[in-house]
Amino acid sequence: MRDKLIWEQTESSFIQHYYQLFDKDRTQVGTIYIDASCLMWEGQQFQGKTAIVEKLSSLLFQKMKVDEDPITGFHQMSLMFLLKNISEAWVCTNDMFRLALLNFG
């Protein structure tokens, strides 16, 4: 088995960390954003870590499930992060969420 490339390691670590924060205490999700971060949630825009945390904390569902293989199969939602390394820490500068169910019919 080959060693993971740095971007694969970063991706895996970030996704695991994000979902742990999201599922356990969404108020802590703000630690991965900066004041200039943007969230696009179903067409609504939220700017800055405070607005992003308020939006994520207001969601009614409790957990999100991560697909083991995001390439195959039908997905009910899409979540994309744009990460940037600032002062030796990875932060999310842009976050986009879209329910696939709303895009059909």
pLDDT tens per residue, range 12-40: 888 888 888 888 998 999 999 999 999 99
Contact 52, 46 (CB under 8 A): yes
pLDDT (0 to 100) of residue 59: 85
Instruction: Look over the chain and give the mean of its residue pLDDT values, rounded to a whole number.
Output: 81
Average pLDDT of 5-12? Answer: 79
The matching CATH number, chosen from 3.90.1150.10, 3.10.450.50, 3.40.50.9100, 3.40.50.2300, for 6-60+75-103 is 3.10.450.50
pTM: 0.75
Strand partners, 44: 41
Cα–Cα distances in Å, from 21 out to 64, 70, 71, 94? 11, 20, 24, 17
Contact 20, 28 (CB under 8 A): no
Contact 97, 45 (CB under 8 A): no
Domain boundaries, the chain: 6-60+75-103
> Looking at the predicted structure, is the pLDDT value of residue 51 above 50?
yes
pLDDT (0 to 100) of residue 105: 47
Amino acid identity, position 53: V
